[in-house]
Structures are given as C-alpha cells and as structure tokens.
Structure 1
Amino acid sequence: MGTLWYNGTFLTMRAENESVEALFVKNGIIIDVGSKEELTNKYKEEIQQWQDVMGGYVYPGFVDSHLHLIGHGEKIIRLDLSNMLSADEIDYNLRQKSSELPSGEWVLGEGWNENNFPDQKIFHRHELDDIAPNNPLYITRVCRHAALVNSEALKLAGITKETEDPEGGVIVRDEYGEPTGYLLDAATELVKQVIPNVTEAYLRQALTLAIDDLLEKGLVGGHTEDLAYYNGFKQTFDQFLKTINGKDKKFRAHLLVHHEAVNEMEENGYDFGEVTPFIELGAVKLFADGALGGRTALLQAPYTDDPSTSGVAMHSEATLHAIVKRAREKNRPVAIHTIGDGALDFALTAIEKYPLTRGRDRLIHVQVANEELIERMQKLPVILDLQPRFVVSDFPWVIDRLGSERLSYSFAWKTLLNAGLACAGGSDAPIEPVDPLLGIHAAVTRKQQTDKHEGYLPDQKLTPFEAIQLFTSGSAYAIEKEDTRGVIDRGFVADFTILDQNLCQIDADEIPNSKVLMTVVDGSIMYQNNL
C-alpha cells in the first residue's frame, strides 16, 4: 500500500521550472508521477494514505555534500563563538564560561574568527591565562585549522620552547621562541590528545542534536567526516548505527573515512558501500593543506599579504601518494581536502599517478585553482565539493591574502561548472552555517543578505536552478546515486524538501527567508513546521 502526495508543485529538478502535480509513493520509492486525478484512478486500490503538502514547493531532498555532523552537534553543545564580533565579546563570554566550571575542567569553545573583529586580535596565552586562571582552555578558529590555548593547556600537552613543530602544523612563537598559544593545523592535535575523551552519551547527544537541526533546515542527508576524532572508528560509528535507526530517525548519512580510521574500519568487518539503507561508508578522506584564514592553505606562490609563507602541506608529497596508493589497492576512491592551488596540484598529481578504476574521487573545497589545474581536473573522474558560503565568510579579507591575479580562479563556482566539472554543494558545518538556503543564497548573490553591493566576483554567480542542483543532483552524483536520488521522478527515493516558496521565482535576497514546511526521508515526514 502507498501514499498519494498532492496539493503542491513538485519540482523535478531535471529542467528549470519542470514540475508535476502529484506523486504516488510506495515503500519509500516514487512509483509514479502525474496529476492527482490520474494517479488516484490508476492506484485507487493501493492508496492507503493521502498526504496534503499544503500548497508547498516540493524539491528533491536537499543533501549537504560536506560537513562534520558531530562537530555541528558540538557547536550546539559548546560555547559558540562564531557570531561574536569583537575580542571584548569573546573575552566576556570565555570568562563567564570559565566561572561556571569547576577548577581543572576544560573551557571549550567553537568558531572564533578574528576577521570579524575591528582590530583582528589574536589572543596571547597570557591573556587567556587571565581569562581562565583555574582551567585549561582550548578554542577552535572558525576554520577548525587553528586553535588558541592557555598556558595550562600547553603544560598538559607538554608543549614548550623546545617542542618541534609537528609535520603539517605550526606552533606559533614569540620573538624569544616561546609558544604564544596559537596553534595551526597538526599542532592542534598535540592539545586535543590531552583533552579528556568524549563519552558515548556525549557523541549520541551531539549526533542527535545535529541531525534534528539538519532535518529542521530541510536537509534529508549529509556527507560527513567524523570517524577519526572521537576515540576511534568503532565508538563513533556505533553511535551512527544507534541514532539513525531507520524507524523514528531516518537520515541519509554518507560517511567519509579518514585514512587513519581505515584499518579499524576493516578490523570491524566494514568496507566501502552501504551498511544500512540510511548509512554508507564512502571515500578515504585526507587533508592536503589547511585554510586561508590562518594562511595554512597551500599556495603555489607566497601569500600576497605575507610573502614569508605559501602555507602548509599536511603531508609530504611521498606520504600523500602513499595514502592514495593504499586506497587504490582496495579499489577505493579518495576525498582530498584541497583549498590552495598548491594543494590541488599535489592532489591531482597523486590521483593521476594512481588512477581510479571504480567510482569518483572527491576534491573538497577547491577554493583556489587556475586554468592548468582545471584542464587536469576535466580529464579525471572527480567531483568537486563546493561550499558557497565561503564567499560570504572569506570576502573581503581574502582579497588581501590572494591578491588580484589569483582571484579570477578563486571561489570560481561558475567557471568550474562551465568547464563541465561535476560539482556538489555543502556547508562544511560547523565551519559555516548548515542551512542550505544560506548556501543557495550565497551561490546566487555572492554576498550577505543585507549587503547592498553586486556581490564579490559577480561573474561567478550561479542561477538559483544551478545552486539548488548543487544540493540535490550534485550531492547524489558525488556518491554514484544519480539514478536514484537528487531528482523527483519514477524510481527515485521519496526524499523531499518542501518549502513555502519557489526559489527560482523570488528575489534572490528572499531565499533565506523561505520556510521549510516539511522534510521527508524515505517517504516519512521527519520534520513538519507547525505554522
């Protein structure tokens, strides 16, 4: 027995403004499309339920192609610094948090961004000592590629003047060689290792909060990378299995597997592919570089605003090649974090050296490219995971970082699409807001909703249809599900994002104001807005 979905505009996303009037869904699959009358007559013996979508606009379910689900849940649980606009505001909130905690307990915060401060202040450890005199303190930058810590945290981690920089990381030091408390990329791991391990209950809480938040924002699924950071693969993966049970909680979770978690995955009897109808294990994840904010993204030429550095390679070229080679020995695709053009060059060289025989490799972020790198990508089975909101967060300060010459191929979403490259859309939450409407708006306008200018690099604006496709058919293509997900048509899964407006027919700055009426996964309503 099935369900007739009606009283809405069902946008197929096969072509702009193509729609159907009603759907017949059975066992989580779209069996047929057409008018309410013809489907009623055709399936009258099988229709068990009638679902009125209240005049809403029904899209294929939005999927975030790159985020960190547990990290997003942690942002909800922990002190969120991401919207604070001054060092004084950070100072006040950290002091408040420290005063509430017992002596010795860690003060943890998420998402500070000095580019939001008038003075662009980076706290020194001595200032953090004054803020939290009785507690170790660890706060991550918005990019999660840098952190600030106080002296007690450095002491617990054993970081002194004599400590060498780890591979792929930097311990920022003062003129005397003493650590300042500012840690970049792999150096943050030295402190993370001494922060008490999270419990299973904590992971379950973070994951549940994250999924509920995504469902409320219209996301039916996400491609997430969490499996190497919370006491290893098994404890984390077990929480996914327990939380997304396919009954009261349905959500499409595609899990990238950090290269350091692959052995434990195999030891527990798992491999690439579907584990349950809602949980899949995906490509082998690795980092080639850091982020532009902390100047750890690897560039082919020095930073324009700091010619002393070109960024940080997270691995030597030999190590990066070895990781890709090991993945290929098991016939697995890789997903490589590449923000700078230097990192993209490294990643493409490894992929070219060890060709893929099954599936599609993923290049995550691709914020800085050039014509030669684009031509190389065109020859490979790769998909690019783009985060449109990076334009909103990184401009205008990124202009000083990169200089005018590199900008024409930076954050160049339209250029990449016009080159015929397959692209998917995500948020990189908790780095950026997880709301897909904000991502779609950023791709279309390339500015904040309240900004009055024409957008940063306006020639790179996408149409609303192109932007929506990033989060629908693009995300499906990234995981070889383009024949069953990302489109409303016969044989596709009944995953829907139902909004109160047609995003292709309203003013672009109204896109974030659209309301999610329902989020439907596998034919089941997982969120309903009780307006």
Structure 2
Amino acid sequence: MSRGEPPLLVRGEVALEAVGGRLVTAEAMAIGGERVIAAGRWSEIRELSRPGSRTIDARGRAVVPGLHDFHAHLVGMARARREAALDGARDMAELVAQVRAAAAMLPVGSWMFGRGWSEARLDQRRLDLLEAAVADRPAFLASHDGHSAWASAAALAEAGVHAGTPDPAGGRLERGAGGEPNGVLRERAIELVGRVLQPLGGEELLFALSETAAELAAYGITGLTDAGDDDAAGGLGRYSALGDSFSTLAEARHRLDTRLRITLDLPMAALTAATEGGLRTGAPLPGSRTMRIGWAKAFADGALGSRTAALFHPDTCTGGTGILRLDDPELDAFLAECRAAGVAAAIHAIGDRAVAVVLDAQSRSAPRGAGVPPDRIEHAQLVRPADRARFAAMDLTASMQPIHCAADRDDAEACWADRLAHAYPWRSLLDAKARLAFGSDAPIETANPWAGIVAAVHRRLPGDSREAWQPAQAITAAEAVEAYTRAPALAIGRGDEGHLHPGALADLAVLNIDFASLLAAEDDLVAVRSDLTLVAGGEVHRS
C-alpha cells in the first residue's frame, strides 16, 4: 500500500483460511492495494482507518478466500452458452426433438454444435433420426463427458472419414453394417472430425467469455485453472501453436485479466512449442497481471460415461475394460520432456488401471526441477486402496471434481458395481495425506462450487432424495472449502493465495450466508452467491 492510499476495512465473519478440517477466523481485516495488510479483532483493525478509508460491513455474512475452480474449460463454457444443450434428454425421442429444434434456428447449411447427450439415451440403432433432425448439415454433438461425440454424415464427409478410415491409436470409430462409420466417435477418434470444426470465435466468443467470467465472480470464484484441450489444433495469434483454448484465452486477456486469476494449461502436443517459447509452469503470461502458465495436459484414458475409462477388470455394464490412450513409453517420454522444459504435468486418469499406470510412470520419472510445481492426476475417480498413499509419497495433487461423483452415481452403480468402495475416494486420499484440489469440469457439469461442496459432504446431487452414496468417502464442508481455496494455491506453489492472512493477495468473496449455513452444507447451499467479490483488492462483482 502506498503512503497516501487509505486501507479498505472488512468487518464480519472472516475465514482467514480453511486448513486441517477447520476454518481459522477473525472479526475483521484490512486491505491495502492488492494485499491483506492486517487481520484480527475489529477493535484493532479499525485503528488502521484513515481519511478516505472505506468499511465493508459484512456482519452476519461469511467472508471467505476467493474460490479456485481447479479444473474447468473456460472456452468450452463460453461456447456452451451458444450451443444446443442436450443434457435434459430422457430418451432418444427427446434427444432428436431437441436437436431438430436447435437445427431449425440455424441458417441452412451452417454447422450445428451441441453437447450433453448421455450414452444411456443414445440409441445407435436409430442414428438415422439424428441425421434427419440436422437436415443434412454438418453437425457435431459432444457427449455429456466430452469423451465421445456424434458427427453427422456431412461432417464425416468434410473430415474425409469413411469405411476405409482406420481406428486411430487411443480411439475408436463405431461402425454399422459393412464397416461404415455411424458417426459415433470415441476418444482420439474425435480428433478426426475436430480438425474441420468451425466453432464459435471472434467477437461473439469474447462476449461469451466475458459473460462467463461474470457468472464465476457471482459464485465467489476468483481463480480458475483452464484444463485445456486434447490436442494443439485450432490455435490463433501469438500462441497459435499452443492450441485453441490457450491461445484464445491469451488473446482475450484484455477482457479477462484482473477479473479472474487464470492458470492456462497447454496440451501435451504443444509442449515442444511451449519450451521453445520459454514458457514455464507458474510464470506470468506476458502482458498480463492475473494470468499464468499452467500444466501440460495428457490423457491416459477415457471416461466412465463413454465406457472408455481404463480398468483392470471388465466393467459390469458392457464387459469392456476401456481405452488406455497412452502406453508406458509414451508416458515416460512425456514426463521426461516436462522435466527438461520446467513444465509440470497434468494427466487425466479416471479408471483404476489408468491411475496405476500414471503412478507407475511417475515413480520412474526424474525429480522435478527447483521451483516447478507438483504434477497432477486429473479426476482419479477409481483408485485401488494400494495406490492411495502413492499420491502423497510422490507429492502429486489429486485434482478431483465432487460434482462428478453425484452426477455419475447411476453410471458407476451400473458399470463399477463390484468396486464402488474404491470410487471417488476423497476421504481415503485425505487420510493418506494427499493434496486434494477441487474443480467442476464445467461445462461438463455446473461451475457452481456450492453444488460441488454439497456433493462432497453428502455424496449426492442437491435435491436427490436418496441416501448419501458411499458415505464413508464423504468429507466435511471445511475440508471441501480447503480443496477449493488453499489446496489449489499450494498446487501451483503460491503461498500468497488461497487464504486471507496478512501478505496474501486480496482475493475474496462476501457471501450471502453466515458461517453456520456454510458449514452445514445443506441442499440450499447451491443458491449461495457472492454479494461482493474482489480480485487483488479490486471489485469484480457486486450484487
């Protein structure tokens, strides 16, 4: 704080930090410039008031460190605002009706985009109905989990996909009679069509990104780690070689910088380009104040919803064991390149086999260089008991999304019926001293972190009348808040984020509830919003 700048005083129920299963609290705090300069009793803090000082009276309301969504897709969230939402379809007939209605709103011959269909609702025997619904236009409809997609005949033709197209390594084309692709794409087969997609861009995308940032601020989210893309295609501008999401967000920094603390992951395929550009995990994005370089992202397997999570034993719904997208030599080479580049790794692994394969690769890899943040395992939805202690032993962050547990409950019961005790094992990982950082995976699930906290505490969706699912793996509300605040800061190696002790960056939210309601984490917590959100002491939202 400069000599002439009066401090901002905050009086109320202030959570300085969530740590060790409890909230460390104070009556008040003072902010000078971008940082917290004091915290303690109100009688002490008010003595710091000077002419021009303002006081935020938050008595009766919880003041918390700004939440950090540790795994989301910001560009995908923005585009989803303009795409057909198919999550609500209860059967094939409803799915077709939703697609037909959305297609009717578009110019003739233009691309159609949608997302959210469920594997259980897609009848592959009647894909002709989807073809009729899109009216011969190129269409690309992503599944709910994003690990499958349906592409129309026109889209397949534009991509040059036909009966003679082989399945790519780490992917599969579903086929009908005579080996003709039926349009359903699994895992890396999506890339065959992805290279010709024409998604939302330009000024319309920038506007949608701005809307998304405003929505996040209203939740009390001040930080987000963008989980990036599967490949390095579709980039633009200075960072075109780093893929669609990274380059789009970098180009949009004039709209996003100082509104949200964004960590930008880059795809595995862009690691060489990042190295040549001198980019390192944790370093600021040149020309920005609140954007920085994140992790290099790789995919070890698929997802539960698409039945492509890599498993040790056949699942109980299809009898399959999923798709392992990277073998040992590929993982070893990826981690070696990360170590040489000073870039940390984030590896998607959902099934127990994928998690074990990644842990084994980590055990073979060289140590990280000085100052490089810990590597991450993304999702870790099925983890064998023998593998849980390995996260802490190798200082790996378990990057998990509690809303997935609640939303995937029926799929897990159908497909992992004989191993449910090993699914979404938050309590076991915490007890094994793992660093547990939470996110949403939006737009696959809602970005609402309060829905995530309800799911973490009750192991079910808000409003679900069923009993808590596998409650032995539930955690407390205070532990969940820590996973959304302190843990993401530790994961990126920032001691001045994720808390509100003196010296911390003043990223905070004044919530419209009190501490008792927050810690109870009942279903109505999903309606919580921030009355005031600050990033580095600057106001980014006021209700």
Match of 2:420?
A: 407
Give distance in 2, aligned partners of 1:434 and 1:8.
Answer: 27
Match of 2:330 among 319, 334, 338: 319
> Residue 383 of structure 2 contacts residue 422 of structure 2 at CA under 8 Å; is this kept in 1?
yes
Equivalent-residue separation in structure 1 for 2:406 and 2:519 (angstroms):
23
Residues 99-114 of structure 1: matches in 2 within 5 Å? 99-114=104-119
Q: Among residues 212, 223, 226, which one is paired with 2:225 in the alignment? A: 223
Aligned mate of 2:11, from 7, 17, 39: 7
Answer whether contact 2:210 2:255 (CA < 8 A) is retained. no
1:123, CA displacement in angstroms? 6.9
Deviation at 1:214, TM superposition (A): 1.1
* 1:396 maps onto 2:385 in alignment: no
Is the counterpart of residue 85 in structure 1 residue 90 in structure 2? yes
Match of 2:156 in 1: 154
From 438, 442, 464, give the equivalent of 1:425.
Answer: 438
Do the aligned residues in 2 keep the contact of 1:68 with 1:225 (CA within 8 Å)?
yes
Q: 2:43 aligns with which of 15, 34, 37?
A: 37
In 2 relative to 1, CA 376–239 (structure 1 residues): closer, same or farther, beyond 3 Å?
A: closer
Q: Please tell me whether residue 277 in structure 1 is matched to residue 283 in structure 2.
A: no
How big is the shift at 1:317?
Answer: 2.2
1:282–1:249 CA distance, 2 compared to 1 (3 A):
closer
| 2:272 aligned residue (256, 263, 284) | 263
Q: 1:332 to 1:6 in 2, by over 3 A?
A: closer
Q: CA deviation at 1:85?
A: 3.0
Tell whether 2:528 aligns with 1:514. Answer: yes
Give the SS at the match of 1:462.
coil
**Equivalent residue number for residue 354 of structure 1:** 365
Q: Partner of 1:171 in structure 2?
A: 173
State the distance in 2 between where 1:403 and 1:310 align: 14
1:487-506 matched pairs, under 5 angstroms: 487-501=499-513, 502=515, 503-506=517-520
1:58-207 equivalences under 5 Å are: 58-115=63-120, 117=121, 121-122=123-124, 124-196=126-198, 199-207=201-209
TM-score, scaled to structure 1: 0.93
Judged with a 3 Å threshold, the aligned counterparts in structure 2 of structure 1 residues 508 and 328 are, in CA distance, closer, same or farther, namely: same
Residue of 343, 355, 379 corresponding to 2:354: 343
In 2, the alpha carbon distance for the partners of 1:471 and 1:141 equals 27
C-alpha deviations, 1:79-136, integer Å up to 9, x for none? 1222333332321221122222223211110112244x4xx63474422221112311
Give me the TM-score of the superposition, normalised by structure 2.
0.91
Q: Deviations over 1:387-441 (max 9, x none)?
A: 000111111221221122x211111111111111110000011111000001001
What is the rounded CA distance, in whole Å, between the counterparts of 2:58 and 2:412 in structure 1? 43
Q: CA offset at residue 153 of structure 1?
A: 1.4
Matching residue within 428, 448, 468 for 1:455: 468
CA contact (8 A) 2:477 2:521 kept: no
- Say which of 374, 391, 395 aligns to 1:377: 391
**Contact 1:446–1:461 under 8 Å retained in 2:** yes
Deviations 1:145-166 (A, max 9, x none): 0001221112112221211001
SS in 1 for 2:101: helix
Deviation at 1:470, TM superposition (A): 0.8
**CA distances 1:348-398 after superposition (whole Å, capped 9, x unpaired):** 122111133242010000001112222332320100001000111111221
Q: Which residue of 2 aligns with 1:294?
A: 306
Q: Equivalent residue of 2:361, what SS?
A: helix
Query: CA shift at 1:318, angstroms?
Result: 1.5
CA distance change for structure 1 residues 238 and 447 in 2, over 3 Å: closer, same or farther?
A: closer
Deviations 1:298-321 (A, max 9, x none): 1112212222x2111112322222
How does 1:237-252 map onto structure 2 within 5 Å?
237=246, 239-241=248-250, 243-245=252-254, 249-252=258-261
Question: Partners of 2:280 and 2:360 in 1: how far apart?
Answer: 26
Contact 1:7 1:55 in 2 (8 A): no
Could you report, residue by residue, the CA deviation over 1:182-227 in whole angstroms, capped at 9, with x for unpaired residues? 1111111111111236544344234223222211221101011236
Moved more, 68-77 or 235-244: 235-244
Tell me which amino acid in the other structure corresponds to 1:24: A
Aligned to 1:330: 341
Instruction: Name the counterpart of 1:52.
Output: 57
- Give the match's secondary structure for 1:408: helix
Q: 2: distance between equivalents of 1:263 and 1:467?
A: 36
Distance 2:464 2:127 in 1: 36
Identity of aligned residues (%): 27
Q: Which moved more, 1:207-216 or 1:383-392?
A: 207-216
Moved more, 329-338 or 350-359: 350-359
CA distance in 1, matches of 2:377, 2:257: 34
Counterparts of residues 297-308 of structure 1 (less than 5 Å): 297-307=309-319
Post-superposition offset of 1:176: 3.1
SS in 2 for 1:189: helix
Partner AA of 1:92 in structure 2: A
Paired residues of 1:125 and 1:150 also in contact (CA < 8 A)? no
1:435 to 431, 448, 460: 448
Where 1:12 maps in the other structure, the secondary structure is: strand
SS of the residue corresponding to residue 174 of structure 2 reads: strand
Shift of 1:246: 8.8
Unaligned residue ranges in structure 1 (runs of 5+): none
Q: 1:247 to 1:386 in 2, by over 3 A?
A: closer
Counterpart Cα distance in 2 of 1:95 and 1:424 = 40
For residues 47 and 356 of structure 1, what CA distance do their matches in structure 2 show? Answer: 51
Q: CA deviation at 1:506?
A: 3.5
Partner residue, 1:25:
31
Change (3 A) 1:491 1:249: closer
Write the distance in 2 (CA, Å) between the matches of 1:244 and 1:10. Answer: 31
- SS for the counterpart of 1:53 is strand
Give the Å deviation of 1:17: 4.4
The CA RMSD over aligned residues, in Å, is 2.2
Kept in 2: contact 1:518–1:527 (CA 8 A): yes
The aligned amino acid for 2:221 is L
Distance of aligned partners of 1:460 and 1:46 in 2 relative to their CA distance in 1, 3 Å threshold: farther
Give 3-state SS (helix, strand or coil) of 1:56's partner: strand
CA 1:514/1:212 → structure 2, altered by over 3 Å: closer, same or farther? closer
Tell me, in whole angstroms, the C-alpha distance in 2 between the residues paired with 1:219 and 1:342.
Answer: 33
**Secondary structure at the counterpart of residue 416 of structure 2:** helix
Q: CA deviation at 1:5?
A: 2.8
